[in-house]
Amino acid sequence: MKKVFSYLSGYKKESILSPLFKLLEACFELAVPLVVASIVDRGIGQGDRGYVLGMFFVLIALGAVGLAASITAQYFAAKAAVGYSCRLRRSLFEKMQFLSFAEIDSLGAATMIARMTVDVNQVQTGINMTLRLLLRSPFIVFGAMIMAFTVDWQAGIVFAVVIPVLAGVVALIMGVTIPMYKKTQARQDGLLLSVRENLTGVRVLRAFCKEGEEIARFDAKNAALKKSQNIVGAVSSLMNPLTYAVVNAGIIVLLYVGAVRVDAGSLTQGEVLALYNYMSQILVELIKLANLIITVTKSLACARRIERVFALDNPLERIGDGAVYTENAVDFENVSFSYNGGGNALEDISFSVKKGETVGIIGGTGAGKSSLVNLIGHFYDATAGRVLVNGVDVKAQDPAALREKIGMVLQKAVLFKGTVRENLLWGNEDATDEELLRAVALAQATDVVEAKGGLDGEIEQNGRNLSGGQRQRLSIARALVRRPEILVLDDSASALDYATDAALRHAIASLPDKPTTFIVSQRTSSLQHADKIVVLDEGKAVGIGTHEELLEYCEVYREIYGSQFKEATHA
Amino acid sequence: MPEKNDKKGWKGKKVKKGTMSAILRYILRYWYYLAATVLLAAVTVVLTLYVPVLVGDAVDCIVGKGAVDFAALAKILRNIAVCVGGTFLSQWLMSLSNNRITYNVVRDIRAQAIRKIQVLPLSYIDNRPYGEVVNNVVSDVEQFADGLLLGFTQLFTGVATILGTLVMMFLLHWQLALVVLCVTPLSVFMAKFISGHTYSMFRAQSEVRGEQTAFIDEMLGALPTVQAYSHEDENLEKFDEINGRLSKASLSAIFYSSLTNPGTRFINAVVYALLALFGAFTVISTGGAFSVGTLTKFLAYSNQYTKPFNEITEVITEFQNALACASRVFELLSEAEEKSDAGNVELGHAEGNISLQDVSFSYTPDKKLIEGLNLNVVKGKRVAIVGPTGCGKTTLINLLMRFYDVCGGAICVEGRDVRALTRHSLRKNYGMVLQETWLKSGTIRENLCMGMPEAGEEEMIAAAKAAKAHGFISRLPQGYDTCIGEDGGSLSQGQKQLLCIARIMLLLPPMLILDEATSSIDTRTELKIQDAFAALMQGRTSFIVAHRLSTIKNADVILVMKSGSIVEQGTHEELLKAKGFYAELYNSQFR
């Protein structure tokens, strides 16, 4: 967990001063019983009102100085914790942005967001609390014991027995309940799943008339949760009564020992009072300490999870070989690829694409179509063979510069909160409005932009005020804005109807500086005019050629085509 | 715990009336536990208050060298032991009783909630993010439980302790008691003052935090796009800007709120000092009538007296928050329900004759969707519905399944208005495969047999084979007993769809609804299950929604929908001849 806590290093001063000032406060607090003892023994014993008044001011002064020390400590603790979490969050965000696609796939967006928010906040709370309490509470507990020893060693022994017993009780209860809480938490997650399913699957569940059954399932889970809550509750609610009992047992013994010592003349009445006060202080601080331990345990778990994100380290491979091997726009040379060391998603793919050509990629679900086009922009490393763009191995090119040349339209069209213009400018920051509108027209999205009120129209988060088809057309426009050398349309016309899909293809094909275009699709109609079609089946290229060639010799292509056109062509 | 405020503190301000009485109704079901709690709280408080009295008496027995009354002391110490033992028992039993009340109430509320969800109109569920309702039933109820428990354990005993100590102090020495009474409210005022000021700071923090979370959510959710457009640096810049503001807001919120504890501690210290001062003076001036032991009692009481004040301010925030959570839950529980099935008749086994008579429908009154829709489908006919996205295809299915009720006109099955039939008997006659495949977490077997739990192994496998799902299922590690996670987990979209089809193949209901049932299956596999589909549809009334025109060509009637109404209706050939909207759609795929 080195990395996670290294961000604290900028706050060394605060991290040291805060606990120190807390200690100071604790010292003043520990002095109080002694002052009270002297009030009893000297002030009352000798009837000295002046002395009592003096001690009164000492008490007030102790409180005031303690307050000042405490405020200083709180400030430093807050500053360190907040500053720390600010830096941690920033570098975590930076780290996540530069994760490779493979890592993003394995982490998942929901997890990443949870790490950035819930976990970082918990670590911040943990640090804040630790700085404030970790030294203070044990200090008061042990300080009280030491003070007791200085007052009277025999009374001190009572403390030396009570404290470990208390600590043992607290540790035992926590040791028993923490795993039990985990189990209740799991039961609660089960309940959550149940509720979620009843909402997400409401149509299916109602269609199958499963309402009664779902209620019964839920009730069973609910009862199980209640049972484990009751059990863990019974154990954890022993904490207060038990510690109370232990401390008071200590007080009984203390009073007796005190009585014997006073009788023998080696202790005063006021000192007995002081010992009694120390014992009471221990109880309060020990409970605080127990709570702190729970907070710290939680924070450490969060820190560990964050650390695992920092530890992710399989960046994209880079090589130095910048030689230009071919004049083609894109070459695949015996390329194989697998996700995270699993089975091959692509196997031994070879083909070349000249500048300005259109390539179709077709195949069933899971055939490896997306994986193939993602290799062009070096979003993944090819596990064998090499991918060349403009004749140079992608592994030898700067990723940002490489991707600058490519207009990617991903399967899942994503837009961002902001105006239509802001979204389109992602493609090219320097584009003029005229250029933006031209790209929009090319992408058959003029009606979408107009419906939103022009380029200044607002798009909501994730583009949720647009339909799937509208999002796709805008994201195509965004890709066209950068006038890419290579345009990749990853199944990006799936939500478009046939007419729009066709119009889009014609528009792109008629561009003067026509980009090299990759079209991934399940529809043969979208691809049949391509210069070259790559037919994928379970990761293997089972056919590469034109529509006509493939119809002739590629069995899989014929089947796909037949399934979509057989009946149609007879009509 | 000032951090708690930051998340939900101020939400507690808005608590709906009636929430309290609703909570009370739930609690009063367990009145016997409640009675036990009150009784035990009283016992606990009396005993804990008596202990300082005894300790004070004990201190009075220990006056000085050779002046210790051991006989009296032993008796007092024994009494202390008895009291402590009693406190231990009553405190623990009270906690147990509190736990029982809380967890029972929470279980009851949740049970009520899940029952409610089953009868909520779909319009409610469709229009709310799932997370919100889940939050209501799980987190809100949990928060409520925490608050309730804390309220029970601390509020009761806290108030009783304050009252008890006050009475005791007045009994011991009313002048000194007055001193305590006057000064302690200061700490409450101060806590209030601080929390009043930090309220706006927490609010500011929470706003910036919300902004940041939205940004993170958006960008991390779309990392592939971010990287494809090399937008990382711009994002980082924006992030830094928000992060800086968050940092500032957090610092002031956390720091100022953390002043509460030192502040109240200081005021308590002042009370303590004042007591020591006046107490000592009183001892001196009364010449021992007011003993050191009594002073000890006083000091102990002042500690016991001030502690609940600090706790109660915390409890009140927590409790307010709990009330806010509870009111959200009760809001859900009091939502309008679907029209009840009471008095409706059972449909029995339908033949499959359906008619729509002048049906009109809209989700929102101001936006008409379907109007004057007439359709007559006789047993065994195949109806295909085509049209662009958003034209109302799915709405029609919602109406057929009676997920929504028509606004005007009527839908009749076997000549009977569906609104006069029980929903279960109607839905049992339909088999539905939707584009959005949904599977429940559980085994493949559980999912396949969802409509027919009593189905035998062979029947199930036959259905899976017909849906071409048997192949991939048998390749899974545990075959039909493989557990799949929420919503199909690791299965591909296409595999999930095959399972949904198999689920229907097993059921063989008289009427079918296939909404883009094969959209995620590649066309080769689709071709392979076509025969099974054809067999399934044989003799059954079916409604088919599809993008792929080839899959709907053989329908007996094709409904072409455009913005809510049926613009064309007829067979494939008729519609092509008409050269209308359908012909346009159809031809576009060969351009």
Residue type, A366: G
Mean pLDDT lowest for which of B165-169, B274-278, B488-492, B533-537?
Answer: B488-492
Return all residues near A372 (Cβ < 8 A) that are at least 6 apart. A332, A346, A349, A361, A520, A534, A536
Structure tokens belonging to residue A310: 């920092």
Q: How far is A352 from chain B (nearest CA, A)?
A: 22
The pLDDT-based confidence of B217 (bands split at 50, 70, 90) is confident
- Residue pair B169/B177 in contact (Cβ under 8 Å)? The answer is yes
Query: Based on the domain organization, do A27 and A85 belong to the same domain?
Result: yes
Q: Which residue has the tokens 């083609």?
A: A328
A91 and A157 together in one domain: no
Q: Is residue A246 part of a domain?
A: yes
Between chains, do A207 and B401 touch, taking CB under 8 Å as contact?
yes
Distance CA B109, CA B125 (A): 19
Q: Show residues of chain A in contact with B492, CB under 8 Å.
A: 365-366
pLDDT score for A436: 92
Looking at the 3D structure of chain A, how many domains does it have?
A: 2
* A161/A119 same-domain check: no
Q: Shortest CA distance to B54 belongs to which of B35, B81, B32, B31? A: B81
- To the nearest 5 percent, what fractions of chain B are helix, strand and coil? 65, 10, 20
DSSP state of B339: P
* pLDDT grade for B390, boundaries at 50, 70 and 90: low
Distance separating alpha carbons of residues A334 and A342, to the nearest angstrom: 18
Q: What is the DSSP pairing of strand A344-353 with strand A406-409?
A: unpaired
> Hey, which residues 354-393 in chain A have their CB within 8 Å of chain B?
363-367, 377, 379
Is residue B252 over pLDDT 50? yes
Q: Are residues A252 and A171 in the same domain?
A: yes
With vertex at residue B287, the alpha carbon angle to CA B284 and CA B289, rounded to the nearest 5 degrees, is 115
| A183, A256: one domain | yes
For residue range B539-558, list pLDDT tens digits in order. 889 998 876 666 677 788 88
The number of C-beta contacts closer than 8 angstroms across A and B is 419
pLDDT at B488: 63
CA end-to-end distance (rounded Å), chain B: 68
Give the tokens for residue A206: 């109602």
A19 and A128 both lie in a single domain: yes
Domain with A253, as residue range(s), is 153-266
- Same-domain pairing of A1 and A130: yes
Taken as a whole, chain B contains a residue count of 591
A5 and A124 both lie in a single domain: yes
β-sheet bridge partners, residue B542: B382, B512
3-state secondary structure of B479: helix
Q: How close A5 comes to chain B (CA, Å)?
A: 18
> b/e for A349-385, b at 16 or more Cβ within 10 A?
bebbbeeebbbbbbbbebbbbbbbbbbbbbbbbbbeb
pTM here is 0.72
List A residues 4-33 in contact with B (Cβ-Cβ < 8 A).
25, 32
Residue ending a domain, among A315, A347, A376, is A315
Same domain, A309 and A227: no
Q: Which residues of B touch A112 (CB under 8 A)?
A: 220
- pLDDT digit string (tens) for chain A, length 571 residues: 678 888 888 888 999 999 999 889 888 888 888 888 888 888 888 888 889 899 999 999 999 999 999 999 999 999 999 999 999 999 899 888 888 877 777 777 777 887 888 789 889 988 988 888 878 888 888 888 888 898 888 888 999 999 899 889 888 988 898 888 888 888 888 888 888 888 888 888 888 888 888 899 999 999 999 999 999 989 988 988 998 899 999 999 999 998 998 888 888 888 888 888 888 888 778 777 877 887 888 888 889 888 988 888 767 778 877 788 888 899 999 999 887 666 677 889 999 999 989 999 998 766 788 889 989 988 888 888 999 999 999 989 888 888 888 988 887 778 888 899 999 988 888 889 999 999 999 888 888 888 888 899 888 777 777 777 788 889 999 999 988 999 998 877 666 777 777 888 888 888 888 899 999 887 788 888 889 999 988 788 888 999 999 988 888 888 888 777 654 443 3
Residues of chain A contacting residue B63, judged by C-beta atoms under 8 Å apart: 262, 269
Residues A13 and A130 in one domain: yes
Question: HSE on the CB side for B33, CA within 13 Å?
Answer: 19
As given in the structure block, the two tokens for residue B90 are: 């009553």
Q: Do A559 and B524 touch (CB under 8 A)?
A: yes
Most confident of A88-97, A103-112, B266-275, B278-287: A88-97
Q: What pLDDT is attached to residue A570?
A: 39
C-alpha dist (Å) from residue B289 to A273, B173, B180, B216, B293: 18, 11, 21, 70, 10
Identity of the residue numbered B262: P
Two structure tokens written together for A371: 């994986």
Say whether B223 and A99 touch across the interface (CB within 8 A): yes
The answer to the question of residue A255 being in a domain is yes
Residue A254 to residue A161: CA distance in whole angstroms: 11
Does A103 lie in the same domain as A31? yes
Residue A290 is assigned to a structural domain of this protein: no
Q: Is A334 helix (H, G, I), strand (E, B) or coil?
A: strand
Hey, are the CB atoms on B269 and A66 less than 8 Å from each other? yes
State yes or no: pLDDT of B15 exceeds 60.
Answer: no
Least Cα separation, residue A348 to chain B (angstroms): 23
pLDDT at B10 over 60: no
- A65 at interface of B, judged by CB pairs closer than 8 A: no
Q: How far is B19 from chain A (nearest CA, A)?
A: 23
Asked whether residue A468 is domain-assigned, the answer is no
Helix or strand (DSSP H, E) at B425:
helix B423-427
Q: Is A216 on the interface with B (CB under 8 A)?
A: no
Say if the Cβ atoms of A67 and B487 lie within 8 Å. Answer: no
Cα gap A82→A86, rounded to integer Å: 6
User: What three-state secondary structure class fits A518?
Assistant: strand
Q: What is the model's pLDDT at position B1?
A: 33
Measured between CB atoms, which of B134, B389, B523 is closest to A196?
Answer: B134
Cβ separation B486–A197 shorter than 8 A: yes
Find chain A residues with C-beta within 8 A of B524's C-beta: 364, 556, 559-560, 563
Whether the Cβ atoms of residue A519 and residue A359 lie closer than 8 Å to each other: yes
Instruction: Using a CB–CB cutoff of 8 Å, tell me whether A56 touches chain B.
Output: yes
- Judge whether residue B12 has pLDDT over 70: no
Ordered domains of chain B (ranges, CATH) = 2-333 (1.20.1560.10), 354-588 (3.40.50.300)
**Is residue B245 predicted with pLDDT exceeding 90?**
yes
Is A501 a domain residue?
A: no
In a domain, A189, yes or no: yes
- pLDDT at residue A147, rounded to an integer: 86
Q: What is the pLDDT of residues B479-522, one digit of tens each?
A: 888 888 766 656 777 788 888 888 888 888 889 988 877 766 76
Q: Check which CATH number belongs to the domain holding A36 and give it.
A: 1.20.1560.10
Q: Say if residue A130 is in the same domain as residue A158.
A: no
Q: To which H or E segment does residue B442 belong?
A: strand B442-443
Contact B225 A414 (CB under 8 A): yes
**In chain A, what are the helix, strand and coil shares in percent, each to the nearest 5?**
65, 10, 20
Whether residue A117 is contained in a domain is answered as: yes
pLDDT at A388: 92
390-419 of A, contacting B, C-beta below 8 A: 399-400, 403-404, 406, 408, 410, 412, 414, 416-417
Residue A508 has a pLDDT of 85
